[in-house]
C-alpha cells in the first residue's frame, strides 16, 4: 500500500495521491516560470553597460572607434575549444557578451 511508505497520504486514494503529484508538478513549473520572469526583469533593470556602451556613452568615443576597439578586444580573447573546460568556454562567452 502506498500510505505505508508515505504516511502523509494516509486516508487518500491512489487517484487522489496521483492528483496531488500532478498539482505539485504544475505548481513547481509555475514557480520556476515565475522566478525566471522575476530574474529576467531584475537583470534588465540592473544591466551593466557593455564595453562598447562605456566607450561611447561615458567616454565619448566615436562609433567607429568603439567598433575598432571592441573588434580588437574580441580578436584578442582566446578561442573556445572542445578540449577546454566547460567553465572556461562559458567565461569566454560571457566576456564576448559584455563587449557589445
User: What is the model's pLDDT at position 1?
Assistant: 46
Report whether 49 contacts 99 (CB < 8 A): no
pLDDT digits (tens, 9 = 90+) for 78-98: 888 777 777 888 888 889 888
- Written as nine digits, the cell of 38 is 522575476
pLDDT at 12 > cutoff 60: yes
Tens digits of per-residue pLDDT, 32-72?
888 889 888 888 888 889 999 999 999 999 999 999 999 99
Q: H or E segment at 55? A: none
The model carries a pTM of: 0.49
83, containing H or E segment: none
Amino acid at each position: 500500500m502506498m500510505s505505508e511508505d508515505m504516511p502523509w497520504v494516509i486516508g487518500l486514494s491512489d487517484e487522489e495521491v496521483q492528483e496531488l503529484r500532478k498539482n505539485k508538478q504544475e505548481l513547481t513549473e509555475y514557480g520556476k516560470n515565475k522566478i525566471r520572469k522575476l530574474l529576467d526583469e531584475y537583470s534588465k533593470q540592473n544591466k551593466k553597460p557593455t564595453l562598447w556602451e562605456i566607450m561611447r556613452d561615458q567616454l565619448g568615443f566615436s562609433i567607429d572607434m568603439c567598433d575598432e576597439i571592441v573588434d580588437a578586444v574580441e580578436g584578442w580573447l582566446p578561442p573556445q575549444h572542445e578540449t577546454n573546460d566547460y567553465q572556461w568556454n562559458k567565461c569566454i562567452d560571457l566576456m564576448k557578451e559584455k563587449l557589445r
